[in-house]
């Protein structure tokens, strides 16, 4: 058995990050919740411990300290805080880290609708991240399409997680993380440039949730079994 | 029982249009295949008749004649021929028609990849269509995400069809058409502007098909039952 590799969820006090932290804690992972406010991060970790039980390996810390404590970093912050946080974290990101970006550039970030996205010069929020992290850091786009309500509910999620990265090894590691979420299947979605499609799918799902009063997700059909499992 | 309302599939000699024409013929609909070459359209209709049987109500004709023969018009043409065909058809589109656009502006149209889309000034191919049709004609985006291989295979398709339009009545009519495809569920995806997301999902699915050697589709999970059925 390999040594436990902690996961830091930046923005883990928000509903999406909290839900991911909860799911990974349930799967036995070590999770560090990062927040601007270290106290709020600890409170969130405490909530997860109360829900999961005494064995939960979940901690909270201020963003920069949380960043230095792990080399699997998950970004679940609103798009309006995305670039500023990355600039702040840049010196704290450990060499060899994987930055997993779940951010969606919803138009709500600038006062618009959550069912629309902003156009990002680089193509997607995840590609913007790739420009902002230190050289040699792998960026992976994932988890945009599994909603906070699904993650925070009990039981399996009915959702596939498409994972995009220019680093096939990082892609595989993140697909393993994705399959630790009960019910989720993980699919290699190719290069990081495809993140733009994942981000827009979230806007579509939010629109469907509003229109039909549900908590939607997506499943990809028609691929061979091996496509749904990390090697 | 209402009078049969024929469906014209423009580009129905191509694999996507042929597959839709086949599925609607199987469901007992009257289908007219349109093509630049009326003879090829008739050949395609003949093939469908051979496959479906003597009761098949499928016909073939040159595009303009096919257009005047129905008020449900489905565009399944490669994007490079999209605007030119619409300009040619414009005088032939009957008042009150519904134009259903399944076109995806794949970068393959200009020599690029089928797993990437072109940026369309109006936002999507379907919104470009809305600019090119006569005033008062309703445009509906649908069927981009159900692949030709699925449509042309036997048995049910494992795929949902998201339908977007600024005309709720036209949206409902097209959702009824969608549910005539065995296995498909139809979901109101909101305004026509969301067509941009449907079109990009196709590029993602094509990329997944190449990467994983499958015939992918999407299912939307987590919505109430009523969301999957036209009223």
Residues facing residue B73 across a β-bridge: B8, B99
Residue A162, by phi and psi: left (phi above 0), alpha (psi -120 to 50) or beta? beta
Structure token pair of residue A200: 């827009």
At residue B187, what are phi and psi to the nearest 5 degrees?
-125, 130
Report yes or no: B218 and B197 within 8 Å, Cβ to Cβ: no
CB-nearest to A207 from B190, B217, B226 is B190
Per-residue model confidence as pLDDT tens for chain A (231 residues):
456 799 999 999 999 999 999 999 999 999 999 999 999 999 999 999 999 998 999 999 999 999 999 999 999 999 999 999 999 999 999 999 999 999 999 999 999 999 999 999 999 999 999 999 999 999 999 999 999 999 999 999 999 999 999 999 999 999 999 999 999 999 999 999 999 999 999 999 999 999 999 999 999 999 999 999 888
Structure token pair of residue A170: 């990082």
Q: For strand A7-10 and strand A138-141, is the pairing parallel, antiparallel, or unpaired?
A: unpaired
Chain B residues whose beta carbon lies within 8 Å of the beta carbon of residue A203: 197
> Mind telling me how many Å the CA of A196 is from chain B's nearest CA?
9
The reply to whether ipTM tops 0.90 is yes
pLDDT for B4-40, tens place per residue?
799 999 999 999 999 999 999 999 999 999 999 999 9
**In the 8-state DSSP scheme, what is residue B17?**
H
- Put simply, the answer to whether A218 touches B217 (Cβ < 8 Å) is no
pLDDT for A174-193, tens place per residue?
999 999 999 999 999 999 99
Task: Please tell me the predicted confidence (pLDDT) of residue A229.
Answer: 87
pLDDT for A32-73, tens place per residue?
999 999 999 999 999 999 999 989 999 999 999 999 999 999
A156 touches chain B (CB under 8 A): no
C-alpha closest to that of A171 among A201, A151, A195: A195
- Put simply, the answer to whether A221 touches B221 (Cβ < 8 Å) is no
A203 touches chain B (CB under 8 A): yes
């Amino acid at each position: 058995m390999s040594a436990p590799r902690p996961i830091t969820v930046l923005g883990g006090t928000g509903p999406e990050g909290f839900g991911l932290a909860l799911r990974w804690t349930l799967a036995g992972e070590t999770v560090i919740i990062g927040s601007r406010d270290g106290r709020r991060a600890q409170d969130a970790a405490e909530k997860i411990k109360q829900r999961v039980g005494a064995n939960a390996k979940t901690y909270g810390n201020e963003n920069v300290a949380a960043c230095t404590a792990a080399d699997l970093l998950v970004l679940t912050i609103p798009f309006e805080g995305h670039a500023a946080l990355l600039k702040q974290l840049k010196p704290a990101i450990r060499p060899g880290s994987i930055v997993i970006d779940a951010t969606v550039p919803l138009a709500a970030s600038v006062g618009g609708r959550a069912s629309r996205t902003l156009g990002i010069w680089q193509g997607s929020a995840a590609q913007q991240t790739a420009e902002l992290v230190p050289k040699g850091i792998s960026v992976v786009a994932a988890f945009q399409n599994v909603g906070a309500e699904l993650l925070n509910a009990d039981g399996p999620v009915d959702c596939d997680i498409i994972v995009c990265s220019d680093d096939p090894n990082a892609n595989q590691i993140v697909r393993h993380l994705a399959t630790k979420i009960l019910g989720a299947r993980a699919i290699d979605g190719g290069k990081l440039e495809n993140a733009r499609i994942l981000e827009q799918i979230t806007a579509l799902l939010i629109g469907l949730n509003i229109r039909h009063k549900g908590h939607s997700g997506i499943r990809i059909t028609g691929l061979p079994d091996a496509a749904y499992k990390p090697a």
